[in-house]
């Protein structure tokens, strides 16, 4: 009998040990982590509107010649709002915690991508944005007229929320748009990656252009913490709070056209790209994932110098590819019938052939942007607008989701560098 008890004890112990994930690190929050993967899916109720997309970027980066407020509020949405319950959350598995959100993209309009984020136990759809450094969310302190249709976070329903006394934020996106309010901390879970005391910015005032998009309930900034807008004490981004505990201090974006893509925190999945990854340093002091883009080529043409050579940023929160004027002009010179419209946007006959665009990211890596991704919106029976447009940001180019649909991208927070490779 004693031997049988000993055997049973060892069997139970073996099962218990085998159930513990191997080669994983313990986060400060108390959860285990090797890497965290979540599918990044389109908002299927979003449809393309180039005027709204250009306006959104112009206001976000405080560009000159800002569009009228009506253009900003002309949000690219049709249909009912989405909630976190509309997305299927997948199961976890040992060695790699996976949070999956799945849905079918809406036609060719894959321009807004949302992920379910759990704040204080409340599931909320938000936008991961590498072009900003603030974590702000629709909440119950906003006027009901602004929170209507959204899924607001309610700090009174969270047992882990703590208000940060004296801390406020004021994000000015230009032209009078922005968000301002107070700050607290709460437990945040994104795809299994947990930070127990993440700074959360709760606007009490919010510009109407954010209110119109009822599917998106806030922004998770994945820029650098030195650009965070909390005062008097800047707060760390979610990624910066995690990076010292991860197997690798990285974040990858594997975005696909017209299908589900993914983010992964803490590891680089070699099955998602064609090796090698080409790395270039970023200017992290800018707060952005900023790098050089000094050369380009159109179609099978020869490599050309970008005469303006403004730095570029990789921004998951922007849908289009905003390039220096020299690049846009040279590109559309190869598109039959292309011209600048009255709205100062490049348009062309929908039947025109769109060549590929090659951008040199850093001195040596050429990223191919297929021409098939560059037709952004059909404006009429015979007129279309391009996804490549002259930059609306001051002193920089903004490479949005058009780049990510063409390239696998690694954000390396440990080495302050960014890497690019072709999708597998």
* Residues involved in catalysis: 129, 315
Task: Dig out the tokens for 129 from the structure.
Answer: 């944005």
The residues, ordered by sequence, that sit 6+ positions from 84 with a Cβ below 8 Å of its Cβ are 116, 123, 124, 125, 151
Distance CA 356, CA 331 (A): 9
Question: Tokens 């509020």 map to which residue?
Answer: 73
Between CA 277 and CA 409 the distance in angstroms is 8
How many Å apart are CA 253 and CA 264, to the nearest integer?
A: 7
Burial of 304 (0-12, 13-18, 19+ CB in 10 A): middle
Question: At residue 178, what are phi and psi to the nearest 5 degrees?
Answer: 165, -165
């Amino acid at each position: 009998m004693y031997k049988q008890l000993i055997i049973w004890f060892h069997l139970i112990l073996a099962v218990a040990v085998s159930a513990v994930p191997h080669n994983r690190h313990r986060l400060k929050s108390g959860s285990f982590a090797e890497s965290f993967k979540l599918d990044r899916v389109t908002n299927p109720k979003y449809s393309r509107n180039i005027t709204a997309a250009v306006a959104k970027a112009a206001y976000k980066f405080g560009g000159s010649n800002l569009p009228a407020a009506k253009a900003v509020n002309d949000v690219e949405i049709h249909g009912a709002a989405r909630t976190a319950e509309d997305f299927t959350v997948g199961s976890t598995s040992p060695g790699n915690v996976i949070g999956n959100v799945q849905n079918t993209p809406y036609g060719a309009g894959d321009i807004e991508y949302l992920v379910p984020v759990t704040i204080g136990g409340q599931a909320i759809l938000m936008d991961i944005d590498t072009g900003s450094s603030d974590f702000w969310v629709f909440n119950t302190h906003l006027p009901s007229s602004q929170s209507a249709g959204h899924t607001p976070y309610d700090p009174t329903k969270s047992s882990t929320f703590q208000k940060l006394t004296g801390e406020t934020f004021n994000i000015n996106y230009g032209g009078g748009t922005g968000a301002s309010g107070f700050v607290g901390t709460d437990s945040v879970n994104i795809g299994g990656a947990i930070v127990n005391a993440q700074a959360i910015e709760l606007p009490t005032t919010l510009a109407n252009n954010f209110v119109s998009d009822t599917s998106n309930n806030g922004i998770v900034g994945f820029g650098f913490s030195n650009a965070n807008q909390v005062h008097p004490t800047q707060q760390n981004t979610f990624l910066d709070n995690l990076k010292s505990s991860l197997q690798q201090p990285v974040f990858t974006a594997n975005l696909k056209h017209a299908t589900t893509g993914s983010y992964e925190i803490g590891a680089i999945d070699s099955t998602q790209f064609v090796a090698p990854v080409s790395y270039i340093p970023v200017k992290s002091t800018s707060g952005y994932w900023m790098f050089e883009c000094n050369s380009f080529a159109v179609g099978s043409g020869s490599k050309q110098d970008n005469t303006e050579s403004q730095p570029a940023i990789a921004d998951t929160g922007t849908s289009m590819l905003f390039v220096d004027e020299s690049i846009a002009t040279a590109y559309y010179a190869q598109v039959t019938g292309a011209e600048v419209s009255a709205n100062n946007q490049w348009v062309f006959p929908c039947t025109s052939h769109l060549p590929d665009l090659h951008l040199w990211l850093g001195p040596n890596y050429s990223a191919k942007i297929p021409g098939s991704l560059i037709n952004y919106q059909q404006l009429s029976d015979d007129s279309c607008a391009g996804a490549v447009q002259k930059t609306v940001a001051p002193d920089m180019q903004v490479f949005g989701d058009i780049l990510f649909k063409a390239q696998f991208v690694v954000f390396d927070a440990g080495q302050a560098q960014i890497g690019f490779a072709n999708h597998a």
